[in-house]
Structure 1
Amino acid sequence: MKVHQTKIICRVCGYDDNPSNADRCQRCHSTLNRSFPESAKNSQTKNSSAFPWSVIPLIALLLGTGGMYWFYRSHTTATLKDKPSAVVTPTQQPLGKQPPAIASNTADIQTYASMQDVPNVPTGVFNYGGATCFAAMTAHGMHSSIAKVRPNFHLRYTEPPVNVPPGCSTGIGMLLDGELSFAQNGRSVSDAEYRKAKERNFTLQQVPVAIDGIVFFTHRNVPLPGLSVKQLQDIFLGKVTNWKQLGGPNRAIAPISQDPKVHASLKLLLSDRVNNLGRNVKIVRDYTTAMRRVAATPGAISYSSASIAVGQRSIHLLGIARGSSKDYVSPVAGERVNVAALRDGSYPITRRLFIVIRRDRTPDEQAGVAYTNLLLSHEGQQIVEKAGFAAIH
């Protein structure tokens, strides 16, 4: 017959294995009450119903802490309802401290000895467009040289929509709309264009890659040595209408221009008067059309990038003088563009050419940076001058 020893349950911690002769609990050392002995057989039943008195202080502590937290939260919430929030989340910044939509990383624009040295050239097909004068660089081997060292970097010239002439403004518009990976530009990006990019959560960065000269040319039956800037302004504003007024033949002047809303060249001559062209000015699509029209129209005059006009035998190139003087500077040196006059600024009408990068953290941005660096490389700048522009490095 098995004898069950009597055990004493601790009223404090609930320990149920204290010997019957124990004065203190073997677990918590509290004084035991021997008036409540239990047998081992019934200990489990008693233990399951015993209240663990030791947890009372813990419960009181939790209730107190919870009450304080509830009071703090209620008070804080009521206060914040009366004050503007200053909490910054990953998608929210305090007013006045908004970072740029896309940070321009100008450090990635560098000059390299050769095109082969240019890093991070992406693979794929990338659209470009904009200023038509860049065609001279392509014609003189810029893109074929790029293809030799980066055969997987495919460049695709993209025409504007039907009935929309190509040009600087058209190119920037297509870049903003995501139709181009980067744009070739013959003027600075306007404030309105920068704002539109920011509204679409990216930025534009323009990087100069060459210096261009704007030349004026006439039909071959107007053999003047040159014209002053003032005389050219009077022609395109409609103030002078006969070549005889300028020392030429008695023949009506037929000015031909590209659309100044699309192309930037004429603004270099007329500035803010570019939208006040004379009634006799005819608008054509591009430089090539202008040269053909001048060659076929006695008394005609127009303009283009020096890179396109120099070397053309069907037209007569004019020297240009500053102001109203007769100190003509020829756009030609021998059979080539007078690059030295473009570089030192002695030629009166010049401009910088830019690549406009779409800073949107996509492969298009990478393509724009790579293309810019390829043109700025020593090898690329040699092609720039070969094409009839002045290098900037």
Structure 2
Amino acid sequence: MNHTNQKKLVINGEIALLLKGLIIGKVLTLLVIGGLFWWLLRPRIWVSSNPSSLAIQSSNTASMTMFAFQTIADIPVGSFKYGGSTAWAHIRQLVDSQIQNAHPQLQLRYVEPTNSSPGSGSGIRMLLDGQLDFAQSSRPLTTEESTIAKQRGFTLEQRQVGIDGIAVVVNSSLNVAGLTIDQLQQIYLGQITNWKQVGGPDLPITPFAQRPEDADTMIFSSNKDLKNQAFSSQVQYVYSTTQALRQISKTPGGLYYASARTVVPQCSVKPLALGHTPNQLIPPYREPKVQPQECLHKRNQINTEAIKDGSYPLTTKLFVIIKHNNAREQQAGEAYARLLLTDEGQKAIEYAGFIGVR
């Protein structure tokens, strides 16, 4: 074989190798692109770091929910404003997008207060003032709120759609077994001021709370003698639960109460067991308790069984507050409540970490 032929063979071999490399590269590129499309489009269910909360992203589950929501008649058309309880955020995230997928004519817009912290109280006040079409509350209406509504020519209805536990959290370093409901109330009335009075260390108690007029929940609502009692001057008021948790994490004697769904999974604080008597304390979390060093990888789950059977002593009801004025506001509130009371609406409430009522 002469030199020219050898050179041709080398060139042909290099071309063949180059073509082979190009083909392999294209195949790999197609595989990567195909894998990416499969990852983006595949049905999936994501479970949050709190196992008691399940956020559904499966297209199959969404279509099932849409089917159930489509059985509800008399859905009003238009854009409607709503707001209120911060505990309801988990329900809003899970169910509202599915409601609007099933009923695109019903457009829901969450509105926060401008001059106060978000909560049940501020939401009801905005409803009374005409700034909302319906409200979400994790406490009952007060006599004053019902009276104001009548003075303005309409009435308010509270339609229950769920149940929530109220949890008490303290600084994670505090060594105390728990509190009775009476002890908790006495702390906020200023009658108990040191943790040693309830079996803890010699340490001043620093109670935090939202302002009663804005607050999501009430701890005196079950006690008629204390229902209208004012908090102690020692109570430090916070704008939100987020702010309260930050304060407690750096206050050794700090204490706060809020929706169990909101505070029990938090790593920066410790939830306390509560009871009617010192020897019958029930934790707001499922045993065994997750230790602080494990909290970044798994979270405490809500003790839904104890909340459901009534053994956990501090609970509240979740209400849709409906404005009865024979107008579009009433239609929107009634439709939203009916949607949450469907089978799929109740499942969504339970997936969000609350207790259904049906």
Higher RCO structure (Cα 8 Å, ≥6 apart): 2
Question: Would you say 1:204 and 2:156 are equivalent positions?
Answer: yes
Distance 1:333 1:356, change over 3 A: same
Cα distance per residue 1:192-243 (max 9 Å; x no partner): 3333323333222211011111110100011323211122122222222222
Question: Would you say 1:214 and 2:166 are equivalent positions?
Answer: yes
Distance 1:234 1:385, change over 3 A: same
Cross-structure match for 2:315: 350
State which of 174, 178, 191 in structure 2 corresponds to 1:226.
178
**1:8-23 to 2 correspondences below 5 Å:** none
Deviation at 1:180, TM superposition (A): 0.6
Identity of aligned residues (%): 38
- State how many pairs are aligned: 279
CA distance in 1, matches of 2:316, 2:186: 21
Query: Conserved in 2, the CA contact under 8 Å of 1:219 and 1:301?
Result: yes
Q: Which amino acid aligns with 2:283?
A: S
Cross-structure match for 1:129: 83
- The 3-state SS of whatever aligns with 1:268 is coil
Cross-structure match for 2:25: none
Distance 1:274 1:251, change over 3 A: farther
Query: Conserved in 2, the CA contact under 8 Å of 1:212 and 1:389?
Result: yes
State which of 258, 265, 270 in structure 1 corresponds to 2:218.
265
Q: Which amino acid aligns with 1:285?
A: Y
Deviation at 1:387, TM superposition (A): 1.6
Q: Which amino acid aligns with 1:265?
A: M
CA distance in 2, matches of 1:166, 1:131: 7
Distance 1:279 1:205, change over 3 A: closer
Cross-structure match for 1:118: 72
**1:180-195 to 2 correspondences below 5 Å:** 180-195=132-147
**1:198-347 to 2 correspondences below 5 Å:** 198-263=150-215, 264-268=217-221, 272=226, 275-322=229-276, 324-333=277-286, 335-347=300-312
Q: Which amino acid aligns with 1:124?
A: G
Query: Conserved in 1, the CA contact under 8 Å of 2:275 and 2:313?
Result: yes
Structure 1, gaps ≥5 residues long = 1-111
Q: Which amino acid aligns with 1:382?
A: K
Query: Conserved in 2, the CA contact under 8 Å of 1:260 and 1:266?
Result: no
Query: Conserved in 2, the CA contact under 8 Å of 1:218 and 1:294?
Result: yes
Distance 1:144 1:176, change over 3 A: same
Deviation at 1:160, TM superposition (A): 1.4
Deviation at 1:273, TM superposition (A): 5.8
Q: Which amino acid aligns with 1:243?
A: W
Q: Which moved more, 1:219-228 or 1:271-280?
A: 271-280
Structure 2, gaps ≥5 residues long = 1-65, 288-299
Deviation at 1:176, TM superposition (A): 1.7
Deviation at 1:113, TM superposition (A): 8.5
Q: What is the CA RMSD across the aligned residues, in angstroms?
A: 2.1
Q: Which amino acid aligns with 2:230?
A: N
Query: Conserved in 1, the CA contact under 8 Å of 2:85 and 2:119?
Result: yes
- The 3-state SS of whatever aligns with 1:214 is strand
TM-score, normalised on structure 2? 0.73
Query: Conserved in 2, the CA contact under 8 Å of 1:268 and 1:349?
Result: no
Deviation at 1:274, TM superposition (A): 5.7
